Amino acid sequence: RKKQLEQLRDLKAETTDGRQVKLKANLGRPQEVDAVVSSGADGIGLFRSEFLFMDREDLPSEEEQFEAYAEVVKKMDGKPVIIRTLDIGGDKHLPYLGLPEEMNPFLGWRAIRISLDRKDLFKTQLRAILRASAFGKAMIMFPMISHVEQVRQAKSILEEVKTELKQNGIAFDPNVEVGIMIEVPSACLIADALAKEVQFFSIGTNDLVQYTLAVDRMNERIQHLYNYFHPAVLRLIKMVIDASHRHQIWTGMCGEMAGDPLATELLLGLGLDEFSVSANILQIKERIRSTSFTEAKKVADHVLNLNTVEEVQQYLSQRLP
């Protein structure tokens, strides 16, 4: 069985009727990049930059960050690497940043909200990413976007950094693509407006489920309520993909749903352009390669009319080989 999957490594992620999608990997630590290279992934759909900031006493310098990003970008050898800017706060703490104790950390000072308030820290990270972009194909992604203004501000700080690099004669890719995580319901609802600001979306179902269903992703007691097959989540996903296509940009998914074989046909049918998975990349490729896009669209239409998680899961389970 393993051998069978291995044979898929160099084949495209393509449906039986010729719809091609990108199949990428999520990355937590730079050391994992060798495994990604040998998995045959089309790139890295989510490089969580938090690892660089955690388990240490102080902020990583621009140089340290540059080296980590550049190593990954070089090893991916021209394949795209989507580097997500710092996504701290919520359950992830940095003692040295002096994050305040908050009543609702997941609704508090986290991710892009911190970056926009701590411009010094944000600019250092953007400089490091831009410098790494000279060595391959890096893309920049902002987490936890809920307001259009946040994207505009982040992009304007990015432009500031680019200008400074240019003035100093430091190399970077001037066309580096910029995208955002879609992981808050408000972002789904204003996806049309957001699509005008960026080159791509990546749906973060881990947070999207939490915020849509008002279910803490860390709370064991209510885990039975936490499920990405909830009809509300599915409708939001559809809205996002449709909005992106109306504006000629693409949508990926880097939350855990992307790596669930039970969801593959549905996501293809909804028009998802890119899957970025944490594990089992070849298993997802096998699913994609045995799916008909025409059929998948019918499946998606059907599923969008179901009313409960259970109905959705049951219907999709029946369709598994």
| Residue whose C-alpha is closest to residue 64's, from 135, 141, 131 | 131
Nearer to Mg ion, 33 or 254 (CB): 254
Per CB under 5 A, 204 contacts Mg ion:
yes
Minimum distance of Mg ion from residue 93's CB (angstroms) = 15
Is 152 annotated to bind a ligand? Reply is no
Would you call 188 a catalytic residue per the annotation?
no
Per CB under 6 A, 260 contacts ligand PEP:
no
Per CB under 6 A, 287 contacts ligand PEP:
no
Q: How far apart are CA 7 and CA 90, in angstroms?
A: 40
**Which of Mg ion, ligand PEP, none has residue 173 at its interface (CB below 5 to 8 Å by kind)?**
none
Instruction: Tell which one of 205, 212, 264, 291 touches ligand PEP (CB under 6 A).
Output: 205
Minimum distance of Mg ion from residue 183's CB (angstroms) = 5
Minimum distance of ligand PEP from residue 252's CB (angstroms) = 10
- Pattern 81-110, ligand PEP, x by CB under 6 A: ------x-----------------------
Residue 276's beta-bridge partner residues? 24
Per CB under 6 A, 212 contacts ligand PEP:
no
Q: How far apart are CA 277 and CA 140, in angstroms?
A: 18
Per CB under 5 A, 114 contacts Mg ion:
no
Nearer to ligand PEP, 122 or 293 (CB): 122
Is 104 annotated to bind a ligand? Reply is no
**Residue range at the interface with ligand PEP (CB under 6 A); choices 1-9, 97-105, 116-124, 199-207:** 199-207
Minimum distance of ligand PEP from residue 178's CB (angstroms) = 17
Please state the φ and ψ torsions of residue 82, each to the nearest 5 degrees.
-90, 110
Angular region, 141: left φ>0, alpha ψ -120 to 50, beta rest: beta
Instruction: Tell which one of 173, 197, 207, 286 touches ligand PEP (CB under 6 A).
Output: 207
Minimum distance of ligand PEP from residue 197's CB (angstroms) = 20
Farthest CA pair distance, the chain: 60
Minimum distance of ligand PEP from residue 146's CB (angstroms) = 13
Q: How far apart are CA 319 and CA 301, in angstroms?
A: 15
- From 72, 254, 277, 296, active-site residue: 254
**Which of Mg ion, ligand PEP, none has residue 237 at its interface (CB below 5 to 8 Å by kind)?**
none
Per CB under 6 A, 274 contacts ligand PEP:
no
Is 160 annotated to bind a ligand? Reply is no
Provide the annotated binding site for Mg(2+).
183, 207
Provide the annotated binding site for phosphoenolpyruvate.
48, 84, 206-207, 217
Residues that bind ligand PEP (CB under 6 A): 46, 48, 87, 183, 204-207, 254-255
Residues that bind Mg ion (CB under 5 A): 183, 204, 207
Active site residues: 254
